[in-house]
Amino acid sequence: MFEGFAEEEIPVGEATIFVRHGGEGPPVLLLHGHPRTSATWHRVAPLLVADGFTVVCPDLRGYGRSRGPAPTPDHRAHSKRVVAGDLVAVMEALGHSRFRLVGHDRGGAVALRLALDHPEVVERAALLDCLPISEHLSRITAKFATQWWHWFFFAQPGTPERVINADPVAWYAGDPDRMGRENHDEFRAATGDPDVVRAMLEDYRAGLTVDRADEEADRAAGVRLRCPTLVLWSLGDDLEDLYGDPLAIWRAWADDVRGHGIDSGHHVAEDAPEALAAELAAFFRP
């Protein structure tokens, strides 16, 4: 897995970020979602390297092998703004002052924040299986609350830690044949660590509080994505079913947005790596 890639732990202030990187050419930063690690990209990253890109795959703060400070009462220590700052520092440490950006699921929320807060470093952005958190929350229906109930369960103090850590293997299902054995083993090690579980929950707690407030402040101030933006969503997931055309929502956030559904389940980097890599390479190619 990740043959030819280097592995590093890069200190960025109060956090230390585990990162894999390899290849030559224009840099691409790949951000995973919940409850995965950077290993979720193990099928996509080599294809992008073969297409002439440098690929950087970090574990988000608190996920996988990345470590940050203890959670704070206001959840700001695990906010998308702070995590985005980690990643700008990681890319600077690796010598990349500008880069292409990909975010999936929770990594998509981080990618949005990174592109809004640091437009000078993002050349193009691809957002996968995600909407702005505030857009989800402004559209809450019984169907959304039923299908995405975990957002609100994760926000409860203390209870989800006790439930998940009692049997993380049962809670975090994963098929090694579908994921790839090494990816699955890394995912299983991460989700079996109570510190990782707590950090992942803080990601969601921040989402419902400080992240939502940060997004709403940007909308009120007219802050938008100025870079070309690609939006892809998995047809086997429920984004389109819940909201109709995701592009209609993203047009309120981005000046130049395009995209479409892709034939995949939610974990697109594992389920449809060739199709995804081809879409990203075509969008990112100089």
Locate 62 and state its tokens. Answer: 């608190």
CA distances from 219 to 133, 216, 224, 260, 270 (A): 12, 5, 8, 24, 33
Tell me how far apart the alpha carbons of residues 126 and 259 are, in angstroms, rounded to a whole number.
9
Residue whose entry in the numeric block shows the structure tokens 């970020």: 17
Angle between helices 212-221 and 106-117 (to 10 degrees): 40
Q: Which amino acid is at 243?
A: Y
- Given this model, what pLDDT does residue 144 score? 95
* pLDDT tens by residue, the chain, 286 residues: 999 999 999 999 999 999 999 999 999 999 999 999 999 999 999 999 999 999 999 999 999 999 999 999 999 999 999 999 999 999 999 999 999 999 999 999 999 999 999 999 999 999 999 999 999 999 999 999 999 999 999 999 999 999 999 999 999 999 999 999 999 999 999 999 999 999 999 999 999 999 999 999 999 999 999 999 999 999 999 999 999 999 999 999 999 999 999 999 999 999 999 999 999 999 999 8
| pTM reported for the whole predicted model | 0.98
Domain with residue 110: its CATH number is 3.40.50.1820
Let me know if residue 146 belongs to a domain. yes
How many other C-beta atoms lie within 10 A of the C-beta of residue 189?
13
115 domain residue, yes or no = yes
Please tell me the predicted confidence (pLDDT) of residue 82: 98
Query: What is the Cα–Cα distance from 106 to 204, expressed in whole angstroms?
Result: 9
Per the structure block, which two tokens stand in for 273? 């790596």
CA distances from 143 to 105, 139, 237 (A): 19, 10, 14
**Where do runs of H (alpha helix) occur along the chain?**
44-50, 80-93, 106-117, 133-137, 142-147, 150-154, 159-166, 168-171, 176-179, 181-191, 194-206, 212-221, 239-243, 246-250, 268-271, 273-284
Residue 1 lies in a domain: no
Angle at CA of residue 92, ends 32 and 256, nearest 5° = 60
Residues tagged active-site = 105, 266
Report d(CA 286, CA 277) in Å as an integer: 15
Q: How many CB atoms lie within 10 A of CB 142?
A: 7
Q: Looking at residue 277, what is its pLDDT?
A: 98
Question: What's the domain range around 254?
Answer: 6-284
Cross-strand bridge partners of residue 259? 231
Give the H or E element holding residue 231: strand 229-234
Six-digit token pair at 212?
């939502």
51 is a domain residue? yes
Residue 260 lies in a domain: yes
**Would residue 218 count as lying in a domain?**
yes
Residue 87 placed within a domain: yes
Q: How many domains does the chain have?
A: 1
**3-class secondary-structure state, position 204:** helix
pLDDT score for 286: 82
